[in-house]
Amino acid sequence: MTHNPQALAESAAASMYEADTCSRWLGITVEAVRPGYARLSMQVRREFLNGHGICHGGLMFTLADSAFAFACNSHNINTVAAGCSIEFLKPVEGGDMLTAEATEQVLSGRHGIYDIRVTNRAGEAVALFRGKSAQIKGHVVTPPGAAQ
């Protein structure tokens, strides 16, 4: 095994995805992960539509929040969300494919800030999300070289 940050990010993501019942249930897939970065996608199912016949904002948030989680745990230190904000820019129709791209803006001590851009199949931004993270104890996967 190696301390290679990219390999560690991929291991952490694989372990998290395996355990993340909710993201798998919603059909969210992890397309790419790097240290401080993740890109996830999700198709808008009929069950995700709200009373206006468009995608429920909560499901758009859920995709962005999962992308945030994969990005902020990519350093293999257990990290949780402290707070998030989202701005909704465009309505999203059923059947569309959403992509959420999470980028680390700041990681200072135990706290980080991540920006997530959610785009539709046409590549238009439909929501902007900002997440504040807090590292807690433990690792996502056993770090290379650690005593078992």
Q: How far apart, in Å, do the first and last CA atoms of the chain sit?
A: 13
Two tokens, residue 54: 């468009």
For residue 58, state whether it binds a copy of itself (rule: CB under 8 A). Answer: yes
Find the part of the chain contacting a copy of itself (CB under 8 A) among 1-9, 32-40, 101-109. Answer: 101-109
How many Å apart are CA 123 and CA 53, to the nearest integer?
21
What minimum distance in Å lies between the beta carbon of 52 and a copy of itself?
Answer: 7
With a CB cutoff of 8 Å and minimum separation 6, the contacts of 38 are: 13, 30, 32, 67, 68, 70, 71, 74, 101, 102
Number of residues this chain uses to bind a copy of itself (CB under 8 A):
51
For residue 123, state whether it binds a copy of itself (rule: CB under 8 A). Answer: no
Nearest Cα residue to 50 out of 40, 66, 61, 39? 61
Residue from 30, 36, 41, 62 binding a copy of itself (CB under 8 A): 62
Residues engaged in binding a copy of itself (CB under 8 A)? 15-23, 25, 46-53, 56-59, 61-66, 69, 78, 80-90, 105-106, 108, 111, 113, 115, 125, 128, 130, 132
